[in-house]
Amino acid sequence: MIIVNVKENESIEKALKRFKKKFDKTGAVRELRARQHFVKPSVRKRDEVIRAAYRQRLQTEAMK
C-alpha cells in the first residue's frame, strides 16, 4: 500500500504528483500489462538481445 502524507499548506496536485511517482516506481502497471499474455522465455530472451543490440548501436553512433 502506498502512503503519501500531505504536508501542511501543500497543494493536492503536488501530493498527487508524489503519489504517481511512487506508484510508477512500484512497476504495478508494467507487471499487469506483461501478465496479460504469456511470452515464452526464449522469445523474451530474444527480445532482450535485440533491444541490447539496438541500444549498443545507438551508443556507438553517438560516440562517433
> In whole angstroms, what is the distance from residue 3 CA to residue 5 CA?
6
pTM, two decimal places: 0.56
Question: What pLDDT does residue 33 have?
Answer: 93
Question: What pLDDT does residue 27 have?
Answer: 92
pLDDT digits over 5-60, tens only?
A: 998 999 999 999 999 999 999 999 999 999 999 999 999 999 999 999 999 999 99
Question: What pLDDT does residue 32 have?
Answer: 94
Retrieve residue 20's grid coordinates.
504517481
| pLDDT band at 64; cut points 50, 70, 90 | confident
Retrieve residue 3's grid coordinates.
502512503
Task: Kindly list the domain boundaries of the chain, sorted by start residue.
Answer: 12-63
Retrieve residue 1's grid coordinates.
500500500
Retrieve residue 56's grid coordinates.
549498443
Q: What's the distance, CA 32 to chain centroid?
A: 12
